Chains A and B, each alone.
Chain A
Amino acid sequence: MKKAPVIFLLACISVLCSCSKNPFSNGEVYQYERKAGQPFQIVEINDNLNVSLKHCDPNHPAGTIIIKIGENLIDNIGTEIEERLIENNEDTLTLNALVITNNNAFSYLRPYDYTREMTVYYDSLLKITFNSNAELMQTDTLHGYLLSTHFVQDTIEWDSLASNLLLEVEGGSGNFNVSVNCYKLTTKCIHGTSDININGKTTLAYTFADYDSHGVINSKRLDSHIHYINTNGTNVINAKTYHLLDVKNGNIGEVHYLQYWTTEEEHVWNDTLLQIDTIIKQVLCPKVIRYNSEYIDIWTYNNDIPGLVKERE
């Protein structure tokens, strides 16, 4: 019986050593460069790598991936290209996805605070899927992917060449920070506690938050013409839109929108409807608000509906 502790210890060590994906130390940090091999239109970010998305340039062609990480961990960093099916109206398209993973296991054996950064150079993106506990950073504006011809580009007043962008947060607790410039932006938050920060501009914004979505979706700095929000989440969604804010709120979460006049006096002060309309356009606030299928009078509304909050910038 005296051998029991030794046997127990040996069993634990053998289990730990049996897997090649469990380095005991991170190793020296180096910078590594990889090529994706094929063009991709989708980026899927998993696990816990801090990822920066950058538009390609002459020095860094599309598909270049720069990884800064410990030498013992690099072998288990995955940057694979996989095919994904995307439904577009009646069609189904097959597109390439860059799937980013960190398969290093037993992280509790190593220092938790270590360098794990990746920069991905892309040409154009249709979709970003995020399931990570680290951060997605972006230093320039996302270039969307021209997917559809169902609208005429000349009618869009934005300066974008892009059409659609789909941001999907499947889980995780990281920070999702993107800047966009596109015609239609769809943001889905399915699960997790990630904070989603979206900047830039779009014509149509669709935001969905599911029941297990607990993070903040902050699109306070996303200028949109029309913003549809369908939320069953528990946290705050910030919105800023020109014309229509349409909210369906099925849970205890709140939708905050920017409003510049909050009293009738201010409304009277802006004497004519024409003047008001002009000023509205200047300051960006919704002309029409529909909340759970009911229209809200934006002039008299005084934060008396739970879940809908008017804010001043």
Chain B
Amino acid sequence: MTNFAVLFEMKCSKTHSVLLLLTLLLCGVVARGQDYPWLSHNNIMVEARVHAGVFWHHHFEMQKFSARYPAIEASIYQNTYGKNEWESAYNYPYIGVTFYHANFGFNFEQNPAVGDALGSVYALYPFINYPLNPSEQCQLTFKLGVGLGYLTKHFDNLDNYQNFSIGSHLNAAANLSFEYRQRITRRFTTVASFGLTHFSNGSTKLPNYGLNTFSGAIGLAYYLREPRLNLTPASRPENYPFEFDRKKWLSLDVDYGIGFKNVSQTLGGDSTQYYRVHDLSTYLLAQFTPYSRAGVGLSLVLDLSDQTLPGYSRDNDNNLYVTVIDPEGHQETFPVEIYQLTRLNFNLCYAMTMERLSYYFEFGWHLKYNKVPLPKGNIYQKVTARYQLSDNIYAHLGLMTHFGRADYLCFGLGYRFNQKYYLNHEKGTRHLPPGVH
């Protein structure tokens, strides 16, 4: 890149940042000029940040594209004030949506290979930002955001084969960051953050090793109206059955999810063919704290793309065979039926609840019960977001990974069987009116 081009790029980047800040501040001015009651009722804030990032390639080959790059981010969000009980329990978190843009090609080392292979990214993700301390003046917070990202470059087996981190334009974008927020006036807050941003398509289209970036950022946040006082926990509304109502609940959740995988770019075949992944899971969970549950789970997963993996073959009659090589080097080929590709999984599960939304974190093991090999290892991790559609029915979106490498993304519906229970020492008191022991 010539010096002129570099200067032009830098000017563009600075111009973008300035324009972004001006736009956000203009939002504030325009909003101040008119009466928007929802702004003052909901503690709405706008924020702009400038990032300096580095790649954290967890795959050795991608380290060729190590570089430092700038990024910009704009957010609009609500600083919760205790309308729901869980908000006060989590120190009144910030909930909103972030737009993120990074041009990986504009890197400070002037390594053109990075831009040629990785291009740039545009992402939009909803987030929740948990304060870790209750102070209103200076807060350490943890931001968790998951949404969609569009990467301009992705793997192509002939033209862009060195970028095997990203297999498609459309990806999931996830952000995990620690922030330090210092209030400088009643409405202005400065923000400094450090965190991880991850892009991956959940292996819906391979190859998909994912792209990870670490970045530090500074920014400015602004309340569009005078911030309102937080409500006290005593003024909370009625609890729903999917919230903790001070009773002991044991729940049995049963859900089904379906996912899709395209392996044509790495293992051949029709580029429009998506293999289905079926995931039937059940969890037995107990409530431990007002917003957390834990337990164990079992699941059956049938990933039909497994039959395209190396080691599998079909004969002329379309019968499926698998070749297994044992540690001593002995090779064995035997026929398998599709249903034998089903994996039985056992997991430990932890759930974090925020009203209707909850996150489930699983750490599990694939249990081997036939001779079919487990190509991705024995241990897995799964993250699921659930939304309660009613007291018992929920929708879910889950990502299965093997130590950071996405396996599949699935979505579906589930049903929860709730069972109230009492410990022995509680049985004598359970029908007494409140306050009587």
Interface residues of A (CB under 8 A from B): 1-2, 4-5, 8, 48, 107-108, 111-113, 131, 133, 171-174, 191-193, 210-211, 214-216, 232, 234-236, 250-254
The listed residue (B61, B162, B268) touching A171 by CB distance below 8 A is B61
Question: Is A172 within 8 A of B140, CB to CB?
Answer: no
CA of A111 to CA of B60, assembled, Å: 18
Chain A CB within 8 A of B133 CB: yes
CA of A297 to CA of B61, assembled, Å: 40
The listed residue (A1, A2, A172, A210) touching B61 by CB distance below 8 A is A172
Chain A CB within 8 A of B413 CB: no
Within 174-192 of B, Cβ neighbours of A (below 8 Å) are at 178, 180
Stretch from B63-71, B350-358, B382-390 contacting the other chain = B63-71
The contact string, 1 if C-beta is below 8 Å from chain A, for chain B 54-78, is 1010001111101110000000000
Question: Is B158 within 8 A of A4, CB to CB?
Answer: no
In the assembled complex, the CB of A4 is this many whole angstroms from the nearest CB of chain B, namely 5
Chain A CB within 8 A of B111 CB: yes
Within 129-170 of B, Cβ neighbours of A (below 8 Å) are at 132-133, 135, 138, 140, 157-158, 161-162, 164
* Given A111-B109, A112-B109, A211-B266, also A234-B161 (CB < 8 A): yes
CA of A1 to CA of B164, assembled, Å: 43
Chain A CB within 8 A of B267 CB: yes
5 closest cross-chain pairs (CB), A and B:
A234-B157, A1-B133, A173-B61, A173-B64, A252-B268
Residue of B138, B161, B162 ringed by the most chain A CB atoms within 10 A:
B161
CA of A250 to CA of B111, assembled, Å: 35
In the assembled complex, the CB of B316 is this many whole angstroms from the nearest CB of chain A, namely 14
In the assembled complex, the CB of B114 is this many whole angstroms from the nearest CB of chain A, namely 10
Inter-chain contact total with CB atoms closer than 8 Å: 83
Question: Is A251 within 8 A of B109, CB to CB?
Answer: no
Question: Is B268 within 8 A of A193, CB to CB?
Answer: no
* Given A1-B140, A232-B310, A251-B268, also A193-B158 (CB < 8 A): no
Question: Is B180 within 8 A of A5, CB to CB?
Answer: yes
Residue of B54, B56, B109, B158 ringed by the most chain A CB atoms within 10 A:
B158
The interface residues of chain B lying within 8 Å CB-to-CB of A112 are 66-68, 109, 111
CA of A191 to CA of B60, assembled, Å: 11
Chain A CB within 8 A of B265 CB: yes
The listed residue (A108, A172, A216, A254) touching B60 by CB distance below 8 A is A172
Chain A CB within 8 A of B264 CB: yes
Question: Is A235 within 8 A of B111, CB to CB?
Answer: no
Within 298-354 of B, Cβ neighbours of A (below 8 Å) are at 310
The interface residues of chain A lying within 8 Å CB-to-CB of B110 are 113
Q: Report the nearest B residue to A12, measured CB to CB.
A: B194
In the assembled complex, the CB of B321 is this many whole angstroms from the nearest CB of chain A, namely 15
Q: Report the nearest B residue to A171, measured CB to CB.
A: B60
The interface residues of chain B lying within 8 Å CB-to-CB of A172 are 60-61
The interface residues of chain A lying within 8 Å CB-to-CB of B214 are 108
Chain A contact residues: helix, strand, loop or mixed:
loop
Question: Is A235 within 8 A of B109, CB to CB?
Answer: no
Question: Is A133 within 8 A of B157, CB to CB?
Answer: no
In the assembled complex, the CB of A193 is this many whole angstroms from the nearest CB of chain B, namely 4
The listed residue (B54, B60, B68, B265) touching A133 by CB distance below 8 A is B60
Question: Is B61 within 8 A of A133, CB to CB?
Answer: yes
The listed residue (B64, B132, B207) touching A4 by CB distance below 8 A is B132
Question: Is A193 within 8 A of B178, CB to CB?
Answer: no
Question: Is B63 within 8 A of A48, CB to CB?
Answer: yes
* Given A5-B180, A193-B162, A251-B267, also A108-B54 (CB < 8 A): yes
Question: Is A234 within 8 A of B266, CB to CB?
Answer: yes
The contact string, 1 if C-beta is below 8 Å from chain A, for chain B 255-278, is 000000000111110000000000
Since A5-B140, A8-B140, A108-B56 are in contact, a sample of 6 more A-B pairs with Cβ atoms closer than 8 Å, ordered by chain A residue number, is A108-B54, A171-B61, A193-B162, A210-B310, A214-B161, A250-B268
Q: Report the nearest B residue to A134, measured CB to CB.
A: B64
Question: Is B61 within 8 A of A193, CB to CB?
Answer: yes
CA of A48 to CA of B264, assembled, Å: 31
In the assembled complex, the CB of B251 is this many whole angstroms from the nearest CB of chain A, namely 35
The interface residues of chain B lying within 8 Å CB-to-CB of A2 are 135, 138
CA of A259 to CA of B97, assembled, Å: 58
Q: Report the nearest B residue to A132, measured CB to CB.
A: B60
The interface residues of chain B lying within 8 Å CB-to-CB of A4 are 132-133, 140
CA of A111 to CA of B310, assembled, Å: 40
The interface residues of chain B lying within 8 Å CB-to-CB of A108 are 54, 56, 66, 68, 214
CA of A250 to CA of B269, assembled, Å: 11
Question: Is A174 within 8 A of B64, CB to CB?
Answer: yes
Question: Is B132 within 8 A of A173, CB to CB?
Answer: no
The interface residues of chain B lying within 8 Å CB-to-CB of A111 are 109
Question: Is A253 within 8 A of B66, CB to CB?
Answer: no
* Given A4-B140, A171-B61, also A214-B157 (CB < 8 A): yes
Residue of B64, B110, B132, B265 ringed by the most chain A CB atoms within 10 A:
B64
Question: Is A235 within 8 A of B66, CB to CB?
Answer: no
The interface residues of chain A lying within 8 Å CB-to-CB of B264 are 252
CA of A94 to CA of B140, assembled, Å: 59
Question: Is A211 within 8 A of B60, CB to CB?
Answer: no
CA of A133 to CA of B133, assembled, Å: 44
In the assembled complex, the CB of A61 is this many whole angstroms from the nearest CB of chain B, namely 33
The interface residues of chain A lying within 8 Å CB-to-CB of B61 are 133, 171-173, 191-193
Residue of A210, A252, A253, A254 ringed by the most chain B CB atoms within 10 A:
A252
In the assembled complex, the CB of B314 is this many whole angstroms from the nearest CB of chain A, namely 12
The interface residues of chain B lying within 8 Å CB-to-CB of A254 are 158
8 contacts between A and B (CB under 8 A): A4-B132, A4-B133, A5-B180, A108-B54, A112-B66, A131-B60, A191-B61, A193-B162
CA of A24 to CA of B356, assembled, Å: 47
Residue of A131, A193, A216, A251 ringed by the most chain B CB atoms within 10 A:
A193
The listed residue (A191, A211, A234) touching B310 by CB distance below 8 A is A211
Q: Report the nearest B residue to A131, measured CB to CB.
A: B60
In the assembled complex, the CB of B109 is this many whole angstroms from the nearest CB of chain A, namely 5
* Given A112-B109, A234-B265, also A214-B164 (CB < 8 A): yes
